[in-house]
Amino acid sequence: MILTQLPLALEPDLANPPPSPPRKPPPKSAAGGRKPAAKAGSELDVAAMAGLVAQHPDYRVLRRLAVHTHFTGCGPGPRATVLILDTETTGLVHSKEQIIELAMLRVDVDTGTGQPVGDVSVYDGLEDPGKPIPEEVRLITGISDDMVKGQKLDEGQIASLLVGVDLVIAHNAGFDRPFCEARYPGFAELPWACSLADIDWKKEGRSSAKLEHLALHQGWFYDAHRAEMDCHALLAVLTPTLPSDGKTGLARLLGAGAVPSYRLQATQAPFDAKNALKARGYRWDAEQRVWHTRLTEETALAAECAWLKSAVYGGRPARVQVETLASTAKYSARPGALSERQL
C-alpha cells in the first residue's frame, strides 16, 4: 500500500499570517463623539434600541400597553364620571348564557379636555355559571371551570361603583348591556354609549373597529380577551384625540350618551335590495324578518330615510318603522318608542 501525504490546505501559515481586515470605527453618538463599546454582560438599553428602530421607515415598533390607575388633572373644569366595562360570557345569547367575568374601570373625565383625571377604581370578578364553560370560550379567554368554581360577583362592590356614574361605555354595548342588566338590574338605570358603534372609526382613518386593531394603530399590544385588560385597552384607545374633530374618544362618547338613538327598520323592503342594504351596514333581524340599522342623530335618520326611498324603494312611497331609544335604553334588550315614518 502506498501512502500519499495530502497538503493541509486549511493549516494556517504561521510564518506569513494573512492581513487583518480593516476595523470599522465605533459609531458616533448624536453629539458627535464616540460611543463606548458595550461591555460583555452589560444590560441592553431596549428603549433606546426601540426608539432607533422606530425612526426607520421600513419598521414599526409595538409596545406593551401600559396600565394607568392614576391620571394627572387637567384643570378645575367640570367632570363627568364614566364606567368602562367588559364581560366574558359562556355564549352570545343573554337569555341563555351567563357572565363568567365582569371588569369595570371607574374614572372621572374633564369635560373641557375629554381627558381622564384622578384615580381609576378597578373591579374584576369571576362567577361560576353553574355549567361547564364551552371549549371555544375557554380557548379564547383562557378562563377554565377550575378558575370560576365557587366564584361569585361582588354585588356590593358593583353597586358602589355605579353610584354617581354619568355614562357606561362598552366596546359593543349591544352585547354587554343585556348580559349586565340580566345579572344586575342597576345597569338599566344608567345611560350607555358604545365605542364600537358611536364612533365612525373608518372616518377616523382606521381600517377596523376591533379593539385590538385600534390599539395596534396606536402602537400598543396587550393580552386581549380578558375583561380587565380589555377595559384598560379601551380607556387607552379613547384618550387620544380623533382626527375628524380634535375631540377625544371619551368626549365623543359623552356627547353620544346624552342623546337618543334610532333603530330604523326597512319595512317590507324588496328582496332584490338585500345586497344594497347589507353593503350599507344593515343587519337582518331573523325574528322580525326585517333589515334594520342604528343611527345616532336625527339628521342621520332623515338622511337614511331619503336613501331608503331612493335606493331601496325606487322612489315609491313607503312607510318604515322607527324605534326611538332613550339614553337609558340604548343597546339594551328593552324596546324603545315605536313610530312610523312616511317616505
Which pLDDT tens digits describe the chain residue by residue (343 residues)? 433 343 433 344 444 555 544 444 444 444 444 444 444 444 568 888 888 888 888 988 899 999 999 998 766 779 999 999 999 999 999 999 999 999 999 999 999 999 999 999 999 999 999 999 999 999 999 999 999 999 999 999 999 999 999 999 999 999 999 999 999 999 999 999 999 999 999 999 999 999 999 999 999 999 888 999 999 999 999 999 999 999 999 999 999 998 899 999 999 999 999 999 999 999 999 888 999 998 988 999 999 999 999 999 999 999 999 999 998 999 999 989 999 999 9
CATH number, domain of 115, equals: 3.30.420.10
Same domain? For 74 and 206 the reply is yes
Domain that holds residue 298: 261-342
277 and 229 co-located in one domain: no
C-alpha closest to that of 192 among 142, 253, 237: 253
- In this prediction, residue 40 carries a pLDDT of 41
One domain for residues 236 and 149: yes
Q: What is the count of structural domains for the chain?
A: 2
Q: What is the rounded CA–CA span in Å between residue 338 and residue 315?
A: 24
The pLDDT, as a whole number, for residue 74 is 64
Q: Where are the beta strands (DSSP E) in 192-260?
A: 192-194, 220-221
The answer to the question of residue 15 being in a domain is: no
Domain ends where: 218, 239, 257?
A: 257
Judgement on whether residues 165 and 222 belong to the same structural domain of the protein? yes
Q: For helices 249-257 and 227-238, what crossing angle results, to 10°?
A: 100
Same domain, residue pair 185 and 253: yes
**Distances in whole angstroms, Cα of residue 285 to Cα of each of 182, 261, 281, 320:** 21, 18, 13, 15
Q: Are residues 212 and 310 in the same domain?
A: no
The contacts of residue 323 (CB under 8 Å, 6+ apart) are: 262, 263, 264, 265, 335, 336, 337, 338
Tell me the three state secondary structure of residue 269. coil
- Report if residue 45 sits inside a domain: no
Quick one: 110 and 124 in the same domain? yes
Query: Among 257, 290, 308, which residue terminates a domain?
Result: 257
Residue 44 is predicted with a pLDDT of 67
| Domain termination residue (choose one: 198, 224, 257) | 257
Whether residues 184 and 323 share a domain: the answer is no
Q: Is residue 24 part of a domain?
A: no
Q: Are residues 274 and 187 in the same domain?
A: no
d(CA 179, CA 177): 5
